[in-house]
Amino acid sequence: MLKATLRSFLAHKGRLLLSALAVVLSVAFVAGSLIFSDTVSRTFDRLFASSAADVTVGPKENLDETVPSGATATLPAALADRVARVDGVAAARAEAEVEDITVVDAENESVSPTTGAPTIGSAWNPTGRSPVELGSGRAPRGPGEALLDARSADRTDVRIGDTLTVVAPPGSFQARVVGIVTFTTTNPGTALLFMDPQTARTKLLGDAGAATSITVDAAPGVSDETLKRRVADALGADRYLYRTAGEQAQSDVEELGGFLDVIKYVMVGFAGIAVLVGVFLIVNTFSMLIAQRTRELGLLRALGADRRQVRRSVLAEALLLGLVGATLGLVTGIALAAGLIELMGLLGMSIDTTEMVIGWATVVTAYVVGVGVTFVAAYLPARRAAAVSPMAALSDAEVAGVGRPLRLRALAGTVVGAAGAAALAGCAAAAETGPATSLLGLGVVLTLIATVVAGPLLVRPVIRVLGAAFPALFGPVGRMSQRNALRNPRRTGATAAALMVGLALVGGMSVASASMTESFDRQIDKTLGADFVVQSGNFTPFPREITEAVRGTEGVGLVVRSAFTPIAVRLPDGDRVETTAAGYEPRLDEVANITYARGGTASALAEGRLAMDADFAREHGVRVGSVLPVEFRGGRTAELTVGALTDQETAEGFGTTGGIYFGMGTVERYAPGGQDAAVYVNAAAGTDAGELRAALERTLDPYPQLQVRDLADYKQLVRDQIAVLLYLVYALLGLAIIIAVLGVVNTLALSVVERTREIGLLRAIGLGRRQLRRMIRLESVVIAVCGAVLGLALGLVWGVCTQQVLALQGMTALAIPWGTIVAVVVGAALIGVVAALLPALRASRMNVLAAIAHE
């Protein structure tokens, strides 16, 4: 039996190759993502572990910052001296390190990375653990001197002796480059600027007596844990945050983790799609192989093989395929990971590909996924194979599976579909985001299953309609291709399903993103009243000096500053909500249109007052006049009175809950050291908007991180951000398409083989090669478009339901991207044409006589 299995495996290697490709793709994405994240984590683990001081003392953080406030938490630099006196301390240094400074060269060009990675300014405290060393030049001495990292220097052509402008929170200053530092370990992609410690403190922190952390080296024989305890005892355990080298590295890795997680999730998403669509392809391939071999299997049965042996034989074939696919997938995954690492290199994160980590967990996962998927997918066809009767060997019966009734599928599809529809209806009707999202997820999964199960029944009407014009357009060739597509609805259904799954996702996501864009557009139109908004490209705050420069620009009438700060507010119902609050200058009404349920901007921004979203307030028992204890960073607290309740469509953005805001004065009083997040500008009376814009852009020339945006620019900005989501969708679409094309090729190739005699007959009675190719191409197109139509229909339903959930979050607009939908259908037709290339060529090359004589 094993011998027969092996023979059969090798005999069908062409067809199996297509299935193997699906397995390879799935495994490659799984393995690639694992290898990549393992490699990156190990690289950074090492970097952070090697560069962290034995013990680090940092300021205590009572609130997490989800939206950057621009403030840098500090502690007194003098602590370093106190720490140095602790028993077991070899050395203690006061560090000054500020992220998100901007460095500009003499031509006002930014020296900062273009990738969005931060530019970090720090004190030059070289130790054996520094991740950098002085490559050329000398150490900085006194104000006006700095070191720059080699990568940034190379990229922007900065040399020793050049003068840079550094835009730091306290203000801009000039520094001459006196040396270039190079990374001794992996460069995580950031730009680094070093100054002598005194300069760093005054220029970056604005306070010669402040430090961002104290790093402590242990004396020989003193463990990190012991040292940490002693330092904590000396300074007061509750006053500061103490971390050993291990803990510090851990926390650094976690900080970076968010970014790595995104890449990981994307890869897992791809792997998921590849697995899902791959399953269809494998089920299809095995079903076809078995249909083709009905007589052979019948003969085996007639010769005495029992059902279990037949089933095992098929499953053994699947196992082989899974093993081969997983092995190739693992290799492809390694290549994929290497490619990703190279890509990271382009983004400035230089990881050595020779450092690649291929853990045993990766290998095991690859084989489990590869073999598991194949095995599961082949199980049903194997059962069907086992059910072949010995009589099949003798009769000339039609291919198995064609004539079997689809009643069970109809029933199952209807039941699951009804449940899915109910879930989606429930989601659309739900009033709360939480249950609505769960119902949406459930509905999506159920309707997807229902559509796949009922696929063979759905393709019939769809293809009848799609191909209705074929006979008129393409004559007998069109008629035959339409009917051929309907000949085996199971096969057509399964083939179309592979394309359907991917396109349903695309349809759903494109409706959701179009609706989001539309909602944001409307909201921006409604709320933004300013002529211009000055903001940095990546929304990081900017120093006050820039706001003042904007205010001083000719033609500027009104300037309204805004800032963010993390707060924790204790609500009357006992909840403590950590969120980000905004602060605005008083004349907010002139640059924004805010709808109030109670009160107004004046009462919202008055001293000691705050405003919040009316719904949020109702939920937590807050009323106008309620006095709320509010906690700020650094442990400062205030009692603020609710002055106004807002009734905005979207009160909540990313990282903010409750839509809380107050006057700029409150921010400056309780959360000092922050920077401005955005500045709203109105033109002075009689100033042309175009002129003002030009003037503002001239003002901001030395600050390349900032942009001037009007209403249209602002909408475009939001659109671009949502577009990132769409790019992901399109990448998914690409993968789904590749696999679906394989499926269509597979189906057509089998159909061509099965219809060899029919093709021979057609050729004998005068069907030209070109006509034959067209016939197969049309069949392919109708199958592909059928998959697209079913998928998009499903996706539209999902998209509309998703929009209903988004509406609960205030994104009330529904937009259907018809352009995208039409493009997808046209694209599907093209896919059909491409998929038919090889099968059509094969059919047209078929020898007429051999085809007639084919048994």
Partner 1 sequence: MSTPAEHVPGLASAGAVAARARALTKSYGSGETAVLALDSVDVDIARGRFTAVMGPSGSGKSTLMHCLAGLDTVSAGQVWLGETEITGLKERELTRLRRDRIGFMFQSFNLIPTLNALENVTLPMDIAGRRPDPKWLDQVIDTLGLRDRLRHRPAQLSGGQQQRVACARALAARPELIFADEPTGNLDSRAGLEVLGILREAVDELGQTVVMVTHDPGAAAHSDLVLFLADGRIVDEMGRPSAEAVLERMKRFDVIRGPFDRSPGTARSPGTDRPIGTERPIGEG
The contact set with partner 1 (CB under 8 A) reads 475-477, 479-480, 483-484, 487, 757-758, 761-769, 771, 848-849, 852
CA-to-CA separations, 588 to 542, 597, 712, in angstroms, rounded: 20, 17, 20
Smallest gap from Cβ 381 to partner 1, in A, equals 24
Residues 6+ apart with CB under 8 A from 134: 126, 147, 179, 180, 181
Report in angstroms how near the CB of residue 762 gets to partner 1 at its nearest.
7
Question: Which CB, 571 or 759, lies closer to partner 1?
Answer: 759
Q: Closest separation between CB of residue 446 and partner 1, Å? A: 35
Q: Which residue's CB is nearer to partner 1, number 261 or number 398? A: 398
Angle among Cα 387, 388, 392 to the nearest 5 degrees reads 160
Name the residue nearer to partner 1 (CB basis): 349 or 759: 759
Beta carbon nearer to partner 1, 597 or 848: 848
CB of 768 to partner 1, least distance (A): 5
Q: How far is the CB of 354 from partner 1 (least distance, A)?
A: 56
Closer residue to partner 1 in complex, CB, 475/690: 475
Phi, then psi, of 813 in degrees rounded to 5:
-75, 140
Q: What is the CA radius of gyration of the chain?
A: 33
Q: Which is nearer to partner 1, 65 or 758 (CB)?
A: 758
For residues 421 and 444, what is the distance between their CA atoms, to the nearest angstrom? 9
Taking Cα atoms as reference points, which of 712, 756, 741 lies closest to residue 832? 741
Closest approach of Cβ 764 to partner 1, in Å?
5
Here the tokens at position 33 are 């993502």
> Measured from the CB of residue 366, what is the shortest distance to partner 1 in angstroms?
44
Minimum distance from residue 758 beta carbon to partner 1 (Å): 6
> Around Cβ 217, how many Cβ atoms within 10 Å?
18
Q: Which is nearer to partner 1, 760 or 787 (CB)?
A: 760
Min dist. Cβ of residue 398 to partner 1 (A): 9
Residue from 258, 256, 235 nearest 55 by CA: 235
Residue 6's Cβ-side half-sphere holds a number of Cα atoms within 13 Å equal to 3
Q: Are β-strands 596-598 and 240-244 bridged in parallel, bridged antiparallel, or unpaired?
A: unpaired
Minimum distance of partner 1 from residue 463's CB (angstroms): 13
Nearer to partner 1, 173 or 474 (CB): 474
The residue among 465 and 764 lying less far from partner 1, judged by its C-beta, is 764
Nearer to partner 1, 12 or 777 (CB): 777
3-state DSSP assignment of residue 146? strand
User: Which DSSP symbol is given to 611?
Assistant: E
Three-class SS state of 211: strand
> Token pair of 364, please?
């095991």
Q: Which amino acid appears at position 462 of this protein?
A: V
Cβ neighbours of residue 362 under 8 Å, at least 6 residues apart?
31, 34, 35, 38, 330, 333
> Cα(154)–Cα(148) distance, rounded to whole angstroms?
10
CA dihedral 232, 199, 679, 601 (to 10 degrees): 40
What is the nearest approach in angstroms of partner 1 to the Cβ of residue 471? 9
Give 476 or 625: the residue with its C-beta nearer to partner 1.
Answer: 476
DSSP string, 744-789: HHHHHHHHHHHTHHHHHHHHHTT--HHHHHHHHHHHHHHHHHHHHH
Cα dist from 772 to 234, 735, 777, 841, 846, whole Å: 89, 30, 9, 9, 11
185 vs 771 by CB, closer to partner 1: 771
Tell me whether residue 74 or residue 747 sits nearer to partner 1 (CB atom). 747
Q: How many CB atoms are located within 10 Å of the residue 768 CB?
A: 12
Question: Residue 165 or 771: which CB sits closer to partner 1?
Answer: 771
The least CB distance from residue 469 to partner 1, in Å, is 16
Inter-residue contact 592 to 532 (CB < 8 Å): no
Task: Report in angstroms how near the CB of residue 400 gets to partner 1 at its nearest.
Answer: 16
Give the pair of three-digit tokens for residue 67. Answer: 């939206």
Token pair recorded at residue 647:
């009734």
Looking at the Cβ atoms of 6 and 761, the one nearer to partner 1 is: 761
End-to-end CA distance of the chain: 26
Rounded Cα distance between 55 and 228, Å, is 6
Specify the DSSP class assigned to residue 417.
H
Q: CB of 675 within 8 A of CB of 544? A: yes
Task: Enter the tokens of residue 88.
Answer: 């077991």
The smaller minimum CB distance to partner 1, of residues 365 and 751, is found at 751
Which lies closer to partner 1 via its Cβ, residue 62 or residue 771? 771
What is the nearest approach in angstroms of partner 1 to the Cβ of residue 763?
A: 7
Least Å distance, CB 477 to partner 1, is: 7
To partner 1, the closest distance from the beta carbon of 734 in angstroms equals: 34
* Among 262, 269, 345, 327, residue whose Cα is nearest residue 29: 269
Pick 464 or 526: Cβ nearer partner 1: 464
Q: Greatest CA separation found in the chain?
A: 103
Smallest separation, CB 848 to partner 1 (Å)? 6
Q: CA–CA distance from 278 to each of 266, 283, 777 (Å)?
A: 18, 9, 23
User: Cβ contacts of residue 88 below 8 Å, gap of 6+?
Assistant: 218, 219, 222, 226, 227, 230
Contact 667, 674 (CB under 8 A): yes
Question: DSSP state, 358?
Answer: -
Q: What is the helix (H) or strand (E) element at residue 90, kind and residue range?
A: strand 89-95
Rounded Cα gap, residues 783 and 799, in angstroms: 24
Smallest distance from the beta carbon of 754 to partner 1, in angstroms?
Answer: 11
